[in-house]
Structure 1
Amino acid sequence: MIRDLTDAEARRAMPCKWGQVDADVIPAWVAEMDYALAPPIALALADAVAHNVVGYPDFSPGGGPLGEAYAGFARRHFGQHVDPTWVVPTVDVTAGVRFALNALSADAPVVMTVPGYPPVMNIIEATGRKRLDLVLDPDAERAEIDLDQLDHLLDPAGGGARTLVLTNPHNPLGRVFTQAELEGIRDVVVRHGARVVADEIHAPLVLPGAPAHTPYLSLDGTADHAVAVVSASKAFNTPGLRCAQIVAGDDATRDRLRGVGPGVNESWSTLGAVASVAAYTDGDPWLATLVARLGEQRDLLAHLLARHLPAARMRPVEATYLAWIDLRAYGEDDPAAEVLANGRVRLAPGDMYQPGLTGHVRLNFATSPERLTAIVERMAAALAT
């Protein structure tokens, strides 16, 4: 079910990931998969275009087909009850975080775990709010959120933050926070009367052997202070179609989101909504095959690193298709630059995700086994020089 794109197909399909590198460079940086589109999505899009479904999306209130589709997906995959009317479309997850902050959060600092996703890190400050970084230990085997530090950052006598942007599963660390961990976070947030905006875009991509994803809104006592921002775009490789969803936990939060004036919530794509409904409704078999394939790729990467870069340290990847790799043992502050220059592989440098952090890279392993093998072999040759 998972078809690897050829280099020529990938270069045409992904002008960002493949188009921004020279022809002799293997791209393993931005979070797109080198796989053909899931057939149910391709068929739905082809049918929509054939019928000229390229106008404005449906702006009417209520969850509509997209809300119904996501509610069914959440029930099947996470055991979560979502009222379809609580699903509010938005253009993408980054814009959804900004919209949620502006519509729901106090004009006060925002806590974010770092390393963190750079566009979300930037968007917090774009709202005019100060970003307070809760740094996850780069040397810990399994990074955990320091609840004492979170308590300090939310305390008026400490950081004075009023919102936590929670990335679960975590990008770039690949962590799936357990229910117990999330309950600890909830208790600190509730104690301070703060708010949570949960970025759960990678929730469908929990890999074999990892704990199940627990949606933050599935916990008791979260409905009145949290929203989740979700999308089919990462799991089904459709980021260019521009459609995400903000999931409210109750009617009051939904009404606040829908009551914001026009232009504040950026318009999502009609074709993005078509693709999302198809993914959420008919994509389960393809997604199951994808998750199995990504588990195999993760294990292959661990084997290749042990063989070719034995001093590298890859944090256990529980979710996503993004590996966070510590290469400090090879003596390069910016190993991504060295690997690009001398190995012709583009990786994402660690300091994009945590300013000032040296010796780390993020590697996208959602590609063919042959490309992944070449990536690690080229990395090893570059770092040996």
Structure 2
Amino acid sequence: MSIARRPVVDLTDEEARRSLPLKWGVPEDVIPAWVAEMDYAVDPVVLGAVQQALADGITGYPVERDEALATSYAAWAGRHFGWAPEPEAVHAVVDVTAGVRLAIDVLSGPGGVVFPTPGYNAQHGLARVTGRAEHLLEVPTSADRCEIDLEALDRLFAQGAQTLLLTQPHNPWGRAFTRAELEGIRDVVVAHGARVVSDEIHAPLVLPGAEHVSYLSIEGTHDHAVAVVAASKAFNTAGLRCAQLVVPSAADRELLAAEPMSRNDSWSPLGVVAARAAYDHGDPWLASLVERLDQQRTLLGELLAEHLPEVRMRPLEATYLAWLDASAYGHDDAAVVALERGRVMVSPGASYAPGTTGQVRLNIATSPARLTEIVERLAKAWR
């Protein structure tokens, strides 16, 4: 049975500047296409739930264990992915990066953390925050497809690393790893007695032609892995501060429960309200969003072929973040050139892959008209 859709509504420039102060906090002649926020109005059902919560005066501390949130996520995951954790495995955290840090702090051994690059820039250095070494597992810019090099992963574990920080789907690669790929990762991890922390915040944003497979859905992972998930990326509610840590192992849950309250930053009750509304009632809007992002993906390919034929973009399977290789146009820092000459703000590739040149991350979650202007401006800047 088809879902009765709720439409995605584009924000005007004025609305975007008011609603997205970080992303749109740029000079008026600059188009922002950098930070991972969408230029779309929040799903009215989610917004209405938050507005009602405020009207009810829900501005105090959240409950320590929200059974309704856990049940909502488990049901949502079952509908979308054909796999769901037991509700008792789902625990609130303030955001995904904090959840990753908490899991490494409490559950991982003292050895280093393997971090595939290009990798999410906010998690670069996270290993050091937990007192561990960071081991970069680099994907060459020349690679036709972004994949985890299992032989390299094996070597890093043999050298003393004990945890893999996996991003599934991957930001900024735009990959949704297949079941076979994840099984290969599991085999290497198990061989070394290592752990996996899987950041799965982009799971709702897998595009047609691919599917999301949670690492925790792979047989033989529950004793060494956790996943960190959230509705906030797909529903544009990052500022409401609520993610979920999925901990299938009862022994791991006991370790986390034994930690002092100061170990886990407090999440927001409004974030819980937004997450529950998204999980329980957001499917009609999410379906429209995925359709829109699929259209934007197609449009980007057409625009690059027309205006920037030398730019290399690997197939975008998930997220709304395209990883572009503009090195053919001869600019070491293509992001700086884009801003100075084209008045477009994109994310510099070197912040995701230290030492690389000519790479940028481009956010396509905007209107077709804006995306068209973005690429036209990039062409004037880079060519």
- Fold shared, TM-score > 0.5 on shorter chain: yes
1:258-337 matches, within 5 Å, as: 258-337=257-336
Distance in 2 (CA, whole Å) between partners of 1:195 and 1:305 is 40
Which residue identity is paired with 2:335?
A: A
State the match for 1:65 in structure 2.
Answer: 68
Q: What residue ranges of structure 1 are gaps of 5+ in the alignment? A: none
Distance in 2 (CA, whole Å) between partners of 1:270 and 1:289 is 27
Which residue identity is paired with 2:152?
A: Q
Distance in 1 (CA, whole Å) between partners of 2:366 and 2:122 is 23
Aligned length: 377
4+ runs of 1 displaced by more than 2 Å? Answer: none
1:276-330 per-position Cα deviation (integer Å, ceiling 9, x unaligned) = 0000110011001100100000110010000000100111100000000000000
1:207-246 matches, within 5 Å, as: 207-210=207-210, 212-246=211-245
Distance in 1 (CA, whole Å) between partners of 2:278 and 2:141 is 35
Which residue identity is paired with 1:46?
A: Q
Distance in 2 (CA, whole Å) between partners of 1:364 and 1:133 is 24
Distance in 2 (CA, whole Å) between partners of 1:267 and 1:281 is 23
Distance in 1 (CA, whole Å) between partners of 2:106 and 2:90 is 15
Deviation at 1:85, TM superposition (A): 1.1
Distance in 1 (CA, whole Å) between partners of 2:201 and 2:142 is 25
State the match for 1:162 in structure 2.
Answer: 162
1:92-146 per-position Cα deviation (integer Å, ceiling 9, x unaligned) = 0111110000110111110011000111112221111110011112222221111
Which of 152, 155, 166 aligns to 2:155? It is 152
State the match for 1:24 in structure 2.
Answer: 29
1:263 match: secondary structure:
helix
Structure 1 window deviating more from structure 2 (80-89 vs 248-257): it is: 248-257
Contact kept, 8 Å, 1:222 with 1:249, in 2: the verdict is: no
Which residue identity is paired with 2:191?
A: R
Q: Note the aligned Cα RMSD (angstroms).
A: 0.8
1:173-207 per-position Cα deviation (integer Å, ceiling 9, x unaligned) = 10011000000000000010000000000011001
1:1-385 matches, within 5 Å, as: 1-19=7-25, 21-60=26-65, 63-155=66-158, 158=159, 160-210=160-210, 212-384=211-383
Deviation at 1:250, TM superposition (A): 2.3
Distance in 2 (CA, whole Å) between partners of 1:71 and 1:137 is 37
1:185-244 per-position Cα deviation (integer Å, ceiling 9, x unaligned) = 00000010000000000011001122x111000111000100000111111111111100
Deviation at 1:254, TM superposition (A): 1.8
Deviation at 1:360, TM superposition (A): 0.4
1:377 match: secondary structure:
helix
TM-score by length of 2: 0.97
Deviation at 1:259, TM superposition (A): 2.0
Which residue identity is paired with 2:50?
A: L
Which residue identity is paired with 2:61?
A: Y
Which residue identity is paired with 1:311?
A: E
Name the % identity.
59
State the match for 2:4 in structure 1.
Answer: none
Distance in 2 (CA, whole Å) between partners of 1:227 and 1:353 is 23
Distance in 1 (CA, whole Å) between partners of 2:275 and 2:142 is 38
1:47 match: secondary structure:
helix
Distance in 2 (CA, whole Å) between partners of 1:383 and 1:86 is 49
